Amino acid sequence: MKLVKLSLIITLFFVSTLAINAGEIFYNILDYGAKGDGLTNNTKAINTAIETAAKNGGGTVYFPAGDYLSFTIRLKSKITLHLDNGAVLIGDQEKNGIGYDLPEEDAWYKKFQDFGHSYWRNSLIYGDSLRDIAITGQGMIWGKGLYTYDKPDIKGSGNKAIGLKNCFNVTIRDISILHGGHFCILATGVDNLTIDNVRADADRDAFDIDCCKNVRISNCNINSPTDDGLCLKSSFGLGYARATENVTITNCHVYGYDHGTLMDGTFKTEFKDEDPNAKHSITGRLKLGTESNGGFKNITVSNCVFEHSRGLAIETADGGIIEDIVISNITMRDITDTPFFIRLNARMRGPEGTPVGVCRRITLSNIIVYDVGGRPKFPEAGAGMVMGIPGYYIEDLTLSNIRIVYRGGGPKEAIDKEVAENIDMYPDPYRWHSLPAYGMYFRHIKNLRVNDVVLQTLNRDERPAFVLADVHNASFSHIDAQKGEDSPTFILRNVTEITTHQVKGIQDTEIKKAENQKL
C-alpha cells in the first residue's frame, strides 16, 4: 500500500513538472494580448510572444483556434510558430502607410532579379540569419492583404506570406497557405530546409527555393494557376552567385486550377486561356530557373503528379551550371504546354563578364503524359523541347521509358517552319508556339540517349515525331512513334553519329553525318 502511494506521489510530481515545463516552453499569443476575432491587429502581441520566448532560449509560440490579423511577424532563432487546427493567421491590409516592414535598402545587385526576389522584410512572416526555426500545425496562413504584384510605391505593403533569408535548419510542415501574394514561400540562402505536407493555393508562385542547399520537399499539394508552382532558383539576390544544390522533391501534386479551388476541394476550371481579358495563361509547373546565376546541382524529383498545368522546365539563362539532375516516376494529365522544356541560353542578367552557363548530365525517366496541347491559338503546340544555342551545347541527356499522348493537329507545312534561336530572351516555351515536330525537338545537343519511348496524337498530325538540329552523338532505341501517312519519323539537320535500333517503321540505322535527311 505504501509503495502504491509512493508511486502515485512520484507520478504526480512528474506530471506537475511537465506541466510547469510546458508552461515555460509554450507561449500562447492570447496571453500576450492577441485576439482571434478577425478584427484586431495582433502584430505587437505576436512579436512580443516571440521576443519573450527568444529571451528564454526559444520555444513554441502557439496560435489557438481563431482568426488573427497581423502585419510582419519577425521570427527569431529557436522559435517554432505553431498554428493549431482552426487557427488562421491573416495578412492585414496596410492603411495610411502603416503596415508591413519596409523592404531592405536597394543595392547595386538588385537589378539582376525581379523586385520580389530582392526583398524579404515586407513579408507576413520574416526571418534573416536565423537557425533552428519552424512553422507547423494544421492551421492556415491567409495572405488576404498581400499584393500579388510588387507595389514599391505603396508604403507598408506586403507581398509574400513567408520570406526567409540566410537561415539554417528550417522546417515548414502541415500548414496550409492561401493567397501568398507574390510568393507563398520565398527561401533564399536557406540551408537544411524541410517543407513537408504543406498545402499551397497560390495566385502567383507557391514555393521559390533560391540559392539553398540540402533541401527536402515532400508530400505537398500545390495549386498555382497564374505562375510557377514549385520553383528552384539561383538568383543574385544575396549579392553573389550561389548554387541551389542537394535537393529532393517527392510525392507532390502540382495543379493549375482556379485560385482557391484546391483549398475548398472544388478544383474548378472556369478560367479559360482564350479569354481576351486574361492577363495570364494556366501555369502551375515545376521549374529550375529562370533566375540562374548560381546554377543547380544534385537535384532529384520523383513520384509527382501534374494536372491541368504545365510540365517540367529546366533553364540556365544567366551563366549558372546545371548538372546532375534526375527526374523520374512522373505522371501528367491535361498539360497546357510542353511536358518538358530544357533550355540553355544567354539572357545573362548578372555581373558583366559572366560566361554563358553549362547544362549537362540530365536524366528524365518513367514519365507518363496524357493530353498535351498548347494555347487555344496554337492547339498543335506541346512538343518536348531541348535547346541550347549556337556554340553552347546541352550535354549528356537521357530520356527513357516515356509515353506521351499529344493533342496534335499540326499541318504538314509546319515542318518547314523557321525556329528562332532567341539567344538572349526570357526562356519559356511560349516564345516558340508550335514547332516542326509534334513529339520532341532537339537542337544544339551532344550525347543524347532516347530509349523506350511511345508517342501518340489524339488528332491527325503531319509533322514528324522527332526533329534534330545540330545534334551530335545520339542514339534512339525501342521507339514507337505514331506518324501521318506520308510523314517521316525523323528529320535530321546537321547531325553526326546517330544510331537507331528497333524504331518502328525504320530499319536499324547508323548515320555518320546528315545535313538534311528524313527517316
Torsions phi, psi for 432 (to 5 deg): -110, -15
Whether residue 118 lies inside any domain: the answer is yes
22, part of any domain: no
Residues 464, 488: Cα–Cα separation, whole Å: 5
Give 10-residue mean pLDDT values along the chain (519 residues): 43 36 74 98 98 97 98 98 98 96 91 91 98 98 95 94 98 98 98 98 96 98 96 97 98 96 93 54 92 98 97 98 98 94 97 97 98 77 96 98 95 90 94 92 98 96 96 98 90 98 96 96
**pTM for the complete prediction?**
0.93
Rg (C-alpha) for the chain, rounded Å, is 26
Is 164 a domain residue?
yes
Q: What is the DSSP letter of 280?
A: -
- Whats the size of the chain, residue-wise? 519
Backbone angles phi, psi at 205, to 5 degrees: -70, 145
Q: Say if 8 falls within a structural domain.
A: no
Q: Which structural domain range is residue 264 located in?
A: 27-450
- Give me the residue label for grid cell 472544388: 266
Residue 61 lies in a domain: yes
* 426-429, long-range: CB < 8 A, 24+ apart: 426/290, 426/317, 426/347, 427/289, 427/290, 427/315, 427/317, 427/341, 427/343, 427/345, 427/347, 428/290, 428/313, 428/341, 429/310, 429/313, 429/337, 429/338, 429/341, 429/381, 429/385
Residue 416 φ/ψ, nearest 5 degrees: -90, 10
Q: Is residue 261 part of a domain?
A: yes
pLDDT at 379: 72
pLDDT at 485: 80
Whole-angstrom CA distances from 74 to 90, 102, 117, 123, 128 are 15, 13, 19, 9, 9
Give the Cα separation of 448 and 270 in Å (integer): 41
Nearest to residue 27, comparing CAs of 2, 1, 64?
64
Q: 372: domain CATH number?
A: 2.160.20.10
Instruction: Report the phi/psi class of residue 408: left, alpha or beta, with left for phi > 0 and alpha for psi in -120 to 50.
Output: left
What is the number of domains present in the chain?
1
DSSP 79-121: EEEEE-TTEEEEEPPPBTTBSSPPPPPP-GGGGGS-GGGG--S
Q: Which of 8, 23, 88, 13 is nearest to 59 (CA)?
A: 23
76 inside domain: yes
pLDDT at 376: 65
Separation between Cα atoms, residue 23 and residue 37, nearest integer Å: 24
DSSP state of 7: H
Q: For residue 336, give the 3-state DSSP assignment.
A: coil
